[in-house]
Copies of this chain bind each other. A is one copy, B any other.
């Protein structure tokens, strides 16, 4: 890989300039700003590599950029997104979020890490490969959507309409990742799924004077009682049947957990909490965090919530609840369990509204793509990466990968202080250049 790495180093300045160009184009999905323009930028960069590339339209979505190039026994899919989070609050940025500046070895811009830095590193690595090693040793596909930051609302439709573009891939590099505070590359093999619902209860036709609370049902109490049946004071989910479907981590996964550095005291201080739930620590804490399902009240709205007192009997109550799903829970299963659980307890009046759901995704640590990912990390970074068998967060990885039998992993060019989704998002230039080399090494190892 000497020639490859030498090419990357020789072209580092241009690669960084190209990333700056990409970051200069706003592409904010939540605000529908610059998406078509950004899709064109990605399309042209792919075509410049010689890829067969095109825009794919799904009704209601900004164009998805699809590209493929190379030939070989294996296919490696790159999943990325060209949209970014809104830059607000602008006053907290030290420089314009869409005017990428370099300060003290880091590039500051919205999207620098999430996800333009990662997308561009992957594209630059292909260029360097073609320039120094000729043909790619495998087939590469790019799936670059423009709605990841708003929850990928049209990705399922894309998969349904273009399954043939995805099926048969032998591995997928998911969008992003970072180095932890100890500068170890983080590789993640899965994401939790999620079911997001609203529970709604109705009382009288309108708010009443609270003196009627003696005899007129209060929807807020209905929801409190329904919720209290779902989780106990020890934070154990008591929804009938749910825990029966939760897979225990394998011994191999427990070993992976044991190898993950987890700064408990720093986290407690950062979050301002005296203790974690049930006072957990160590491996039990990490096991619950990564392999535990959740049932979370994200919001509760009923009655009067302004200052002081108002003696009102609310006519309606709504609670927003998310369930983070670990293997082998699915949104469909949990919806069904939830409805039955409530009905069994007489809460037939509590409506359950399904707002969204994605399945959990998890890749076999022994899958060739995962082995290649870890080996490439050792080779490029010179030390063992941290491998998370599952992350605490969620994303549509199952939809695009595991659901089609494609093992996937995620890593990228960020660092612990990259401030993704926040002001002063940045990557370090050395991480970016190393990240390009990492992609080259991955292609070499996975392409054989």
Interface bits A208-239 vs B (CB < 8 Å: 1, else 0): 11111111111011001101100111010000
CB contact between A271 and one of B208, B324, B392, B393 (< 8 Å): that residue: B208
Q: Is the CB of A294 within 8 A of B213?
A: yes
Report B-chain residues with C-beta under 8 Å of the C-beta of A297. Answer: 218, 220-221, 224, 302-303, 314
Report B-chain residues with C-beta under 8 Å of the C-beta of A206. Answer: 272
CB distance from A344 to the nearest CB of B (A): 13
Q: Is the CB of A300 within 8 A of B298?
A: no
Report B-chain residues with C-beta under 8 Å of the C-beta of A301. Answer: 300-301, 305
Q: Is the CB of B322 within 8 A of A277?
A: no
Label chain A's interface by main secondary structure.
mixed
In the bound assembly, the distance between CA atoms of A102 and B314 in angstroms comes to 35
Question: Does A251 reach chain B (CB closer than 8 Å)?
Answer: no
CB distance from A422 to the nearest CB of B (A): 12
Q: How many copies does the complex hold?
A: 2
Q: Which residue of B lies closest to A296 (CB)?
A: B213
Interface bits A413-440 vs B (CB < 8 Å: 1, else 0): 0000000000000000000000000000
Report B-chain residues with C-beta under 8 Å of the C-beta of A393. Answer: 209, 211
In the bound assembly, the distance between CA atoms of A311 and B298 in angstroms comes to 6
Question: Does A6 reach chain B (CB closer than 8 Å)?
Answer: no
CB distance from A243 to the nearest CB of B (A): 14
Which of A173-181, A284-292, A371-379 is the interface stretch?
Answer: A284-292
In the bound assembly, the distance between CA atoms of A233 and B296 in angstroms comes to 22
Contact A211:B392 (CB < 8 A) given known A273-B217, A276-B216, A298-B311: yes
CB distance from A219 to the nearest CB of B (A): 9
CB contact between A299 and one of B192, B231, B312 (< 8 Å): that residue: B312
Report B-chain residues with C-beta under 8 Å of the C-beta of A205. Answer: 271-273
CB distance from A3 to the nearest CB of B (A): 42
Question: Does A333 reach chain B (CB closer than 8 Å)?
Answer: no
Contact A311:B217 (CB < 8 A) given known A204-B273, A212-B392, A302-B300: no
Q: Is the CB of A309 within 8 A of B320?
A: yes
Contact A215:B303 (CB < 8 A) given known A296-B313, A322-B311: no
In the bound assembly, the distance between CA atoms of A140 and B232 in angstroms comes to 60
Interface bits A302-346 vs B (CB < 8 Å: 1, else 0): 111100111111100110101010000000000000000000011
In the bound assembly, the distance between CA atoms of A311 and B321 in angstroms comes to 9
Q: How many residues of A contact B (CB 8 A)?
A: 70
In the bound assembly, the distance between CA atoms of A312 and B211 in angstroms comes to 34
CB contact between A273 and one of B203, B294, B320 (< 8 Å): that residue: B203
Question: Does A189 reach chain B (CB closer than 8 Å)?
Answer: no
In the bound assembly, the distance between CA atoms of A430 and B65 in angstroms comes to 80
Contact A305:B299 (CB < 8 A) given known A322-B210, A393-B209: yes
Contact A211:B280 (CB < 8 A) given known A225-B233, A298-B313, A310-B299: no
A212-B271, A300-B301, A300-B305 known; 5 new pairs, CB 8 Å cut-off, are: A215-B288, A228-B228, A296-B313, A299-B310, A305-B318
- Mind listing 15 A-B residue pairs with CB under 8 Å? A192-B211, A196-B311, A210-B294, A211-B324, A211-B393, A213-B324, A214-B288, A215-B288, A216-B273, A221-B227, A225-B232, A299-B302, A300-B303, A301-B301, A309-B355
